[in-house]
């Protein structure tokens, strides 16, 4: 090697030198307080002191970690929820929930927005999340994990599943195309048949004061849902707010409860002592 | 080839499809040892739908419905549900054999009880899962663009108008039940019923491990609800319901002019026209409320008695006449038993109404259009 090349190489140093130096900088040390943990004590510390990992217990039975036991469906559902939040926030920058702008904004998203995969990612992740939530439920049922002491957490899980469907349903309207409008029309038409509270539901005539009916097309359950007598701009705004703020608010509260209860009820279910073994 | 397609088209009609899935589910669990332990059978069952999809995509009519972007996840869901049902059954069979031999279940082996640190085992498993899902999602998003149709137009109703795919099971139920049931009461009952499961199921066995023999009826009931009444009806509503919600086989063209005769008959029609051969009781239009109520009651009393009997008389009758249910009643107590039988009977309404529709074209047990109350 020529003298110049050697000198240059000495100046630049090797990758191990760069990273060796990097890990000694104050910035690195402030980010990662520990080295890659290789001994039990440090591994425990990593899980305990990390805001994301502390959802986990320190140690767990081997069986509860097996992917053939858990199918990882709960974890995947949660990951999809996070992906949906990220892609959803990005989409909100490009979207205005008005009859005038919603559809053109979709076209803009497809044609001119950079990273034009966000809409696809958001839609397919939503569909996938519904499937993984159902499979999570199937796994929990087939392993009998709803049995004591986890009864209440199953109830929370059912509510989360319903909210997942409502998430998807409210989001379905936002593209404001034919598919969206008529799917939501079909779905919300059902509300018209709510017993007592829907204009075409059984017993709606009974809801009257004298000759004045209380339940009309302008005051029944469907009207509440759509903010109008048909799927129009009011419904679009209502669904948008529910999709981006209302349902996420309830969802996150229930999700925290769900995770918290998994830990409080003894971690991932397993045989023996009513499953109360972890931690 | 055309003959095979024709046979398949016929077999996918709702009455045959639902029946076949029920029989399939039963056989799957009945011959669980063969299904999970004989490699050839297992692989054939898991591969059969993939092969069916692959071959069927050659058919233009099948391809038109299959390639719709929103339908792709449903095909995936069918395969996933099949695979995971099979996987769970495989582990259940192994555990059942262990229990019979007096050994601990696989999940309770001493080495499985050993506690391991979350880092690195679980954290890395999660990381790998997360990466795989990310890759799947990215590839999926690149390959299949999200659908965007014409701008929303309230004046132009598409035919068929379909709800989002995960609600198509409920939309399919509209064929058999009125909107107030299919769209409001049944979804509510599904949610309440699911939430009630842990409080109704008092069997202490099978907590935290896969098993079938220790919880036969629980698993079969749940799978009946999930696979037959939910997944199958979604598939039916998505792929096999075309214009005017008419049935079309997987290899049929969706012809918007297909006409199906409306030949459904109410129970009261059967009773008065067919059995008694006389007109239905009717109150004069200017009669007072009591007379009208009485006329409606006399017109619909067969259905009213049937439905009331089904929900109110059947649960206690079972306790009196069936040893199995008597034991259950004693074990569960009054409230729990009544709630459970009510929920189970509600679920039982689906097959009853479906079979009644397929065999005798029954429309409603009780039909009171005066109050918009059809049952």
CA pseudo-torsion sign A194, A198, A201, A204: positive
Task: Find which of B13-27, B61-75, B360-374 is predicted with most confidence, using mean pLDDT.
Answer: B13-27
| pLDDT score for A115 | 66
Q: Which residues from chain B sit within 8 angstroms of residue A79, using beta carbons?
A: 129-130, 133
Going by C-alpha positions, the residue among A116, A213, A77 that lies closest to residue B146 is A116
Q: What is the dihedral of CA A232, A238, A240, A241, to 10 degrees?
A: 160
Number of A–B residue contacts, CB under 8 Å: 286
Cβ-proximal residues to A186 (8 Å cutoff; 6+ apart), any chain: B161, B162, B163, B171
Which candidate in B139, B198, B244 is best for mutational testing of the A interface (most A CBs within 10 A)?
B198
**Domain-embedded: residue A93:** yes
Looking at beta carbons, which residues of chain A come within 8 Å of B92? 142
CB contact under 8 A, B166 and A165: yes
Q: Which of A120, A182, A201 sits opposite B146 (nearest CB)?
A: A120
Mean pLDDT, to the nearest integer, of B12-39? 95
Q: Is residue A157 part of a domain?
A: yes
Segment B196-219 mean pLDDT = 93
In sequence order, the 6+-apart residues with CB closer than 8 A to the CB of A49 are A33
Percent of chain B with pLDDT over 90: 74
Q: What pLDDT was estimated at residue A48?
A: 84
Given A147, A162, A193, which is nearest B184 (Cβ)?
Answer: A193
Confidence (pLDDT) at A6: 82
pLDDT tens, A166-208?
999 999 999 999 999 999 999 999 999 999 888 888 888 888 8
Of B22, B8, B77, B45, the C-alpha closest to B229 is: B22
Smallest Cα distance from B120 to chain A, Å: 8
Residue A194, domain member (yes or no): yes
Residue A54's pLDDT band (cuts 50, 70, 90): confident
- Give the residue carrying structure tokens 């004045």: A212
Residues on chain B touching A194 (C-beta within 8 angstroms): 180, 184
Average pLDDT in the B128-147 region? 94
Supply the pLDDT for residue B110.
84
Interface contact flag, B184 A169, Cβ < 8 Å: no
Closest to A61 (Cβ–Cβ): which among B113, B171, B211?
B113
Domain count, chain A: 1
Q: Distance (Å) from the C-alpha of residue B350 to the closest C-alpha of chain A?
A: 18
Let me know: does A47 contact A54? Beta carbons within 8 Å. Answer: yes
Is residue A105 domain-resident?
yes
Any idea what the CATH number is for the domain that residue A171 is in?
A: 1.20.810.10
Within 8 A of A195 by CB-CB distance, chain B residues are: 180, 184-185
What's the pTM?
A: 0.92
The pLDDT score that the predictor gives to residue A278 is 36
Are B126 and A177 inside 8 Å of each other by CB?
no
- Please answer yes or no on whether A144 and B156 come within 8 Å at the CB atom: no
Q: Which residues of A touch B153 (CB under 8 A)?
A: 178, 181
Whose tokens are 């359950």? That residue is: A221
pLDDT digits 0-9 by tens, A73-127: 999 999 999 999 999 999 999 999 999 999 999 999 888 876 678 999 999 999 9
Q: Among the ranges A154-163, A264-273, B160-169, which has the highest mean pLDDT value?
A: A154-163
Nearest by CB to B372, which of A117, A181, A202? A202
Picking from A62-66, A175-179, B4-8, B236-240, which range would have the lowest pLDDT averaged per residue? A62-66
Residue A141 neighbours by CB distance under 10 Å: 21
Residue A207 falls within a domain, yes or no? Answer: yes
pLDDT in tens, A205-253: 888 888 888 888 888 899 999 999 989 999 999 999 999 999 999 999 9
A232: nearest Cα among B148, B154, B158, B162: B154
pLDDT of residue B239: 93
Q: Coil, strand, or helix at residue A133?
A: helix
Do the chains contact at B151 and A103, CB–CB below 8 Å? yes
pLDDT at residue A136 tops 80: yes
Q: How confident is the model at residue A12 (pLDDT cuts 50, 70, 90)?
A: confident
The pLDDT value recorded for residue A276 is 37
Instruction: Write the CB contacts of B33 (distance below 8 Å, at least 6 apart in sequence).
Output: B93
Query: Chain A interface, mutation test: which of B127, B208, B244, most A Cβ atoms within 10 Å?
Result: B208
> What are B42-55's pLDDT values in tens digits?
999 999 999 999 99
> What percent of chain B shows pLDDT beyond 70?
100
Under the banding of pLDDT at 50, 70 and 90, the label for residue A55 is confident
Closest residue in A to B89 (Cα) is A142
Domain range spanning residue A147?
70-266
- What is the ipTM metric for this complex? 0.95
Residue A128 scores a pLDDT above 90: yes
- List pLDDT tens digits, range B234-268: 999 999 999 999 999 999 999 888 888 778 899 99
For B302-341, how does the pLDDT look when each residue is reduced to its tens digit (9 = 90+)? 999 999 999 999 999 999 999 989 998 998 999 999 999 9
Residue A2: its pLDDT value, please? 66
Which residues from B are below 8 Å from A274, CB to CB?
Answer: 207
B4/chain A closest Cα distance in angstroms: 32
Q: How far is B336 from chain A (nearest CA, A)?
A: 15
Question: Would you state the pLDDT for residue A40?
Answer: 84
The answer to whether the CB atoms of B373 and A119 lie below 8 A apart is: no
Q: Given the DSSP bridges, would you call strands A208-209 and A59-61 parallel, antiparallel or unpaired?
A: unpaired
User: For the segment B172-189, what is each residue's pLDDT rounded down to a tens digit?
Assistant: 999 999 999 999 999 999
Residue ranges of domains in chain B: 2-147+160-245, 267-374
Residues of chain B with C-beta less than 8 angstroms from the C-beta of A203: 371-373
Residue of A nearest to B183 (CA): A190
């Amino acid at each position: 090697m020529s003298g110049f090349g050697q000198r240059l190489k000495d100046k630049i140093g090797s990758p191990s030198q760069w990273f060796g130096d990097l890990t000694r900088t104050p910035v690195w040390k402030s980010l990662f307080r520990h080295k890659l943990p290789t001994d039990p004590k440090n591994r425990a510390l990593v899980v305990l002191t990390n805001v994301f990992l502390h959802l986990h217990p320190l140690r767990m039975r081997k069986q509860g970690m097996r992917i053939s036991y858990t199918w990882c469906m709960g974890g995947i559902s949660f990951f999809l929820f996070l992906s949906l939040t990220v892609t959803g926030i990005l989409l909100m920058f490009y979207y205005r929930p008005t009859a005038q702008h919603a559809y053109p904004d979709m076209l803009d998203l497809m044609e001119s927005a950079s990273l034009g995969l966000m809409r696809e990612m958001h839609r397919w992740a939503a569909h996938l999340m519904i499937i993984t939530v159902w499979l999570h439920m199937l796994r929990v049922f087939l392993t009998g994990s709803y049995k004591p002491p986890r009864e209440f957490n199953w109830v929370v899980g059912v509510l989360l599943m319903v909210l997942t469907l409502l998430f998807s349903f409210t989001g379905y309207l936002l593209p404001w195309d034919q598919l969206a409008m008529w799917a939501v029309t079909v779905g919300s038409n059902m509300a018209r048949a709510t017993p007592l509270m829907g204009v075409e539901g059984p017993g709606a005539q009974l809801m009257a004061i004298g000759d004045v009916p209380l339940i009309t097309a302008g005051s029944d359950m469907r009207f509440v849902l759509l903010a109008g007598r048909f799927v129009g701009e009011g419904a679009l705004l209502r669904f948008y707010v529910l999709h981006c703020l209302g349902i996420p608010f309830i969802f996150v509260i229930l999700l925290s409860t769900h995770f918290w209860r998994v830990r409080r009820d003894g971690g991932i279910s397993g045989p023996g002592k009513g499953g109360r073994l972890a931690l | 080839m055309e003959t095979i397609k024709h046979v398949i088209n016929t077999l996918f009609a709702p009455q045959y499809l639902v029946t076949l899935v029920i029989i399939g589910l039963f056989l799957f669990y009945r011959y669980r040892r063969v299904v999970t332990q004989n490699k050839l059978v297992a692989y054939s069952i898991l591969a059969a739908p993939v092969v069916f999809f692959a071959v069927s995509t050659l058919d233009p009519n099948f391809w038109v419905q299959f390639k719709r972007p929103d339908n792709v996840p449903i095909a995936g869901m069918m395969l996933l549900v099949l695979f995971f049902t099979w996987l769970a059954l495989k582990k259940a069979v192994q555990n059942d054999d262990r229990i019979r031999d007096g050994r601990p279940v696989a999940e309770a082996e001493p080495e499985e009880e050993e506690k391991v640190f979350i880092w690195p085992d679980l954290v890395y498993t999660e990381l790998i899962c997360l990466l795989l899902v990310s890759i799947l999602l990215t590839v999926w998003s690149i390959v299949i663009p999200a659908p965007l149709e014409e701008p929303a137009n309230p004046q132009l109703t598409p035919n068929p108008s379909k709800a989002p795919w995960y609600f198509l099971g409920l939309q399919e139920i509209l064929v058999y039940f009125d909107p107030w049931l299919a769209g409001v009461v049944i979804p509510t009952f599904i949610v309440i019923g699911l939430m009630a499961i842990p409080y109704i199921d008092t069997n202490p066995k099978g907590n935290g491990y896969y098993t079938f023999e220790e919880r036969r009826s629980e698993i079969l009931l749940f799978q009946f609800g999930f696979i037959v009444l939910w997944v199958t009806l979604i598939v039916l509503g998505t792929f096999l319901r075309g214009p005017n919600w008419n049935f079309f086989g997987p290899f049929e063209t969706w012809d918007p002019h297909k006409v199906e005769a409306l030949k459904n008959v109410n129970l009261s029609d059967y009773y008065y026209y067919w059995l008694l051969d006389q007109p239905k009781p009717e109150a004069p239009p200017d009669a007072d409320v009591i007379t009208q109520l009485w006329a409606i009651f006399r017109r619909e009393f067969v259905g009213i008695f049937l439905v009331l009997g089904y929900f109110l008389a059947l649960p206690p009758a079972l306790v009196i006449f069936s040893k199995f249910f008597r034991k259950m009643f004693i074990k569960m107590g009054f409230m729990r038993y009544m709630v459970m039988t009510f929920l189970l009977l509600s679920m039982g309404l689906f097959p009853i109404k479906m079979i009644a529709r397929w065999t005798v074209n029954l429309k409603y047990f009780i039909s009171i259009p005066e109050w918009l109350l059809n049952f």
